[in-house]
Amino acid sequence: MTNTGRQLVLDLPHRPAFGQADFIVSASNESADRQVGAWPDWPHPALVVAGPAGSGKTHLANVWRQRAGAAIVAAAMLDEAAAAGLADAKAVAVEDADRGIGSERALFHLMNLTREQGLSLLLTGRAPPGEWSIALPDLRSRLRACPVAILGEPDENLLLAVLVKLLNDRQLPATPAAVSYLARHLDRSMTAALAVVEALDRLLWDKPSEITREVARRALAEIGKEAGVDD
């Protein structure tokens, strides 16, 4: 690896890829991927994708958005005006619906459009709708009737594959032992994987080299994760 292109350090964010080819399927997300991928032949016009932080909800929602030509909106930003602007859409993704909805009536309006106009609606949240705080009784009932696609926490195999992809995207060579070490000691989330790869990239700006277990330890320490003893 040469120093070409690494002489000037620019603190620029790396844009994560959210395409179908970038979504890695494993035991923890296979069922949800299959349910979302069944569109437009869903058994119900609305589907909820639920899973913990970092499990891939946003990625899966974006895969569906690209396929369905859907509009996408954060639930917290959803109000009557936003809902009116989505009235002619054929598909809509509403993200983080469990973390606060700008207007419950606006979401209820969108759910009515699934029946009246054949709108497809995908919602994401960290928990199933039965655990969301919804004040509007009719909306609460509609949401609880939706099928739910559950995303589990990434397993070690998935985390390993994600790390390899992120490292390849940044052209950061690593030993298999280093990647396995990271997969064993990282928090099980896509967010943690991206954070540690960003830390590795920073560590190697001045002295580009292959990532070893020792470099991996330093990256884990940088993001505040105790690596523990060798195993």
> Closest Cα to residue 163, out of 187, 185, 190?
190
Which residue ranges in the chain fall short of pLDDT 50?
A: 1-19, 226-231
**CATH number of the domain residue 169 falls in:** 1.10.8.60
Q: Take residue 113 and report the two structure tokens written for it.
A: 């459009």
Q: What is the pLDDT of residue 166?
A: 87
Q: Are residues 179 and 72 in the same domain?
A: no
pTM: 0.74
pLDDT of amino acid 159: 84
- CB-CB contact of 149 with 35 (8 Å): yes
Residue whose token pair is 């964010």: 13
pLDDT of residue 22: 64
| Residue 229 counted as domain residue | no
Same domain, residue pair 103 and 184: no
Judge whether 21 lies within some domain: no
Expressed as residue numbers, the domain containing 178 is 154-222
How many domains does the structure of the chain reveal? Answer: 2
Q: Does residue 123 share a domain with residue 199?
A: no
Cis peptide before 129 (omega within 30 of 0): no
The pLDDT assigned to 94 comes to 97
pLDDT score, position 101: 97
